[in-house]
Structure 1
Amino acid sequence: MEAIPPKQEYVINVRLTPRQCQLYRAFLEGVASDGGRLSKRLLPDYHVLARVWTHPYLLMLHEQKQERERLLRDEALEDEDFIDDGDGTTSESEEDEEEELVKKPSKNKSQRKAKDDESDSDVILLSSDDEGRSAGDEKIAPRKSRRLEGEEPELEGRDVETPPEYTGWFTQSNLVSSADRDDFTLSNKLVLLIQILKKCEEIGDKLLVFSQSLESLNLIKRTLEYLDETKQWFADGHEAVKASGEKWGWKEGRDYMVIDGSVQSGKRDTVQVKFNNPSNLRA
């Protein structure tokens, strides 16, 4: 078995674009200027700045995603409250009928002096929810929704890394807009990655891209697909090592493949075998 050649590592420092520098400075001087809170919000600050240095539009994408999740959580809470309200309401006729069934006949005794002398065994409420409730409480109060009560719902969201006061700071300063969605020159990291990919196509190499961020992976996918759909990828005239008559592009599963947490182990093996096939130059 041949020895594995020594690994060579190159660390490239990529300069921020002017827009990224403005965003970086605006965040540090504005939203995160309270020094007393910075130590408690190291991770949220890191995630915000990571979006800045990856591509500014990620800030807007993340905020839109959080808003969608908030709406879904609110709808789920409303549905839950609606169901609970329906379950907790019992008609008077049903209550009377139930109480009649469980009511025991009183023995013929002398008239009681006061209602307080009545025995608790006269009426037995058979319900698992009656613990700690007095025998005279015959009706179950309907549960009101938190929104109707004016209370804030307790959100157990998956994505709570961005504090509320961080919302909208980049749009208020007019540093990010929807027009930036397909402007990939706002990120020098993306520009460099595109150059490396094109060089790999020219020499017949394959490339593995690792990232700890799903947002970054989705951004790379969208960048490649956009440049392919708009016929910009080969507009610079670079040549790719491909078979005669073969047309390359950026189609997932053919020109590139993705392995993330949602990919099952069986499919991972298929992707790895396909990628490592030396006769498959396309992916």
Structure 2
Amino acid sequence: MKPHQVEGIKFLWRNVVENVNRANRGKGDGCILAHCMGLGKTLQVIAFLHTVLHSPHLPKLRTALVVCPLGTVLNWCKEIDMWTRKSDQPIAIYNLSETKSFHERATMLKMNKHKSLNPVCKWHKKGGVMMTGYKMFLLMSSSKKGKYKRYNHLFAEHMLQPGPDIVVCDEGHIIKNEATSLCTVMSSIKTRRRVVLTGTPLQNNLMEYYCMVNFIKPRLLGSAKEFNNRFTHPISNGQHVDSTEKDVKLMKKRSHVLHELLAGCVQRKDIDCLREQLMPKYEYVLRVRLTPLQRYLSTFKCSDISNRKGCLFQDFKNLLLVVCHPKVLVLDKLRREQQRVSLLNEDDESSEIGSEEEIDPPSPDELLRLPTMSVQELKKLIISKGGSVQHIREKEDLVSCAKLLLTKSADTGPDELWYEKVMPSDSNLIDSVEMSGKVTLLLRILKHSAQVGDKVVVFSQSLLTLDLIEDVLRNVTMKENDTIWVDDIDYCRIDGSVKQNSRKNCIDQFNTHVDVRCRLMLVSTRAGGIGINLIGANRAIVFDASWNPTHDVQSIFRIYRFGQSKPCFVYRFIAQGTMEEKIYDRQVGWMG
């Protein structure tokens, strides 16, 4: 183990256990292990749990629950098995995510008719580590709809009251809003021995940081109002260009006070503690020029926005699609049509809706009801009206977009085919690789990487962009060696639709040095940008910039981490003269 990992394990022991006497008598405490990505947080937790769960001096600490993003569940199981299987006392692993339905999960929690122990019963009786994803844990613990209601008491008994002896929240920055159902459910777990793992503890604002701290040590920072008055407002006031000298001085003072207050329960380590032991990393920001067609489409759309009141998020999304490749607009249209058809079939399979159906203006009651609708209902409404929800994260923005689409649909119908007025009619021109500077540059990097024997990972926020890249690969041949890109052989893809086992097999295949043919991984930033290990590649391409810079940083550390044996090269594609430049400039300012 590295020195920082030994220090991390001691930190976990001091906070969660402290000493044997207090551990057996008291309720315990929590902490945040905020080591940078790639420094081995998983290994530290496994070593800590192995020590605690098998200690004869700690009879009250026998069960641990690890809650993490669904895509990392199997990776946790693999790491636990790898590090403990050869020991005299391996850790028993119970993967709740393997079950497919509520009934199967409920069956796992009960005795069967022969009175033998099921996995969860064994977990409570004999100890071990239970694995589950955040969404599954939320559904199991809070579902109150119809047929699932009868399982509530069963899940609550085993997962919340009394629940596990220790709970570990991987990628704990997900718990960043006290108003969300997830935060409420996680906070209702009885045990106070809570460990939060995160590589990016401070993402957007101090209130998100407060939520994480309040989860592991309730009331340490007071109420949210008290925290805002004491820390958030003074620190924020001192960060502006026109801040007075008094404001800056107060900001530094309050920042120091907050740091000292949390020093005992938050341990932060960045990559500098291992910089000399890691392979070198080179980052390149490539400002890519738009093609004439992309510039024409962008100019047309911007002038159209300035002449009307539109849906900001929809217009912004369209501009991002243009700078990727004009063909993505066509792919977006096809996907929305498929979503609309599936929604209509889901709502009423027997109804037939004519294409010439007259659109009635929305009633006042319909508009007033929008704020009371759930997020999923709002998303369905927006999609059914021809809108897109890909870049909309907050409920207030969904309400605004739905209101605008309802009003506009009654007027002129959705303006989703704006590009057809100016798009060339020649399909070969639209499909041409040369119509996108980013795609052209991507193919050049892939060709060079293949020549030197390097593997590449491409990260994108847009599933449509990944669809386009796959389409390009299927129709492109490397001229030097006549290589054809074959799905699941030459390249793999990870997004939210990929099942756990398929994702694990894909990552294992990609990371092995034996399989030299599998040399490209296409990854959705949100689904695969956290918690996975892609050290098989040493070149990463961030195809589009994210408003939240930590998403891009998390993506880069999928390849730049322990186990990497080659120098790493990171390429950030920024469309020159577009909103992407503004987004990247904001990232630089935010990250310092």
TM-score, normalised with respect to structure 1: 0.62
- SS of the residue corresponding to residue 9 of structure 1 reads strand
Match for 1:156: what amino acid? Answer: L
Does the CA-based 8 Å contact 1:248-1:282 persist in structure 2? Answer: no
Does the CA-based 8 Å contact 1:185-1:191 persist in structure 2? Answer: yes
CA-CA distance at 1:269 after TM superposition:
1.9
CA-CA distance at 1:176 after TM superposition:
6.0
The structure whose RCO (Cα within 8 Å, separation 6+) is larger is: 1
Does the CA-based 8 Å contact 2:478-2:484 persist in structure 1? Answer: no
2:300 to 1, 12, 26: 26
Aligned pairs, number: 203
Structure-2 change in CA distance of 1:264 and 1:14 (3 Å)? same
- SS of the residue corresponding to residue 209 of structure 1 reads strand
Matching of residue 8 in structure 1 with residue 282 in structure 2: yes
Does the CA-based 8 Å contact 2:297-2:422 persist in structure 1? Answer: no
Distance 2:356 2:442 in 1: 51
- SS of the residue corresponding to residue 171 of structure 1 reads helix
Does the CA-based 8 Å contact 2:382-2:388 persist in structure 1? Answer: no
CA-CA distance at 1:3 after TM superposition:
1.7
Structure-2 change in CA distance of 1:190 and 1:79 (3 Å)? same
CA-CA distance at 1:262 after TM superposition:
1.1
Q: Unmatched 5+ residue regions in structure 1?
A: 83-144, 228-232, 240-246
Write out aligned runs for 1:1-283 (5 A): 3-30=277-304, 32-34=305-307, 37=309, 41-74=311-344, 79=349, 152=360, 156=381, 158=383, 160-161=387-388, 164-175=413-424, 178-227=427-476, 233-235=477-479, 238-239=480-481, 248-283=483-518
| Superposed CA RMSD | 3.3
Distance 2:420 2:341 in 1: 21
Distance 2:511 2:490 in 1: 13
Does the CA-based 8 Å contact 1:23-1:170 persist in structure 2? Answer: yes
CA-CA distance at 1:65 after TM superposition:
2.7
CA-CA distance at 1:177 after TM superposition:
5.3
CA-CA distance at 1:278 after TM superposition:
1.2
- SS of the residue corresponding to residue 210 of structure 1 reads strand
- SS of the residue corresponding to residue 258 of structure 1 reads strand
Does the CA-based 8 Å contact 2:288-2:437 persist in structure 1? Answer: yes
CA-CA distance at 1:165 after TM superposition:
4.2
Distance 1:183 1:196 in 2: 18
Q: Unmatched 5+ residue regions in structure 2?
A: 3-275, 367-379, 390-404, 406-412, 519-592
Does the CA-based 8 Å contact 1:57-1:176 persist in structure 2? Answer: no
CA-CA distance at 1:72 after TM superposition:
4.4
CA-CA distance at 1:205 after TM superposition:
0.6
TM-score, normalised with respect to structure 2: 0.31
Q: Which moved more, 1:155-164 or 1:256-265?
A: 155-164
Structure-2 change in CA distance of 1:61 and 1:198 (3 Å)? same
Match for 1:274: what amino acid? Answer: Q
CA-CA distance at 1:254 after TM superposition:
0.8
CA-CA distance at 1:22 after TM superposition:
0.3
Does the CA-based 8 Å contact 1:19-1:186 persist in structure 2? Answer: yes
Structure-2 change in CA distance of 1:272 and 1:72 (3 Å)? closer
- SS of the residue corresponding to residue 278 of structure 1 reads coil
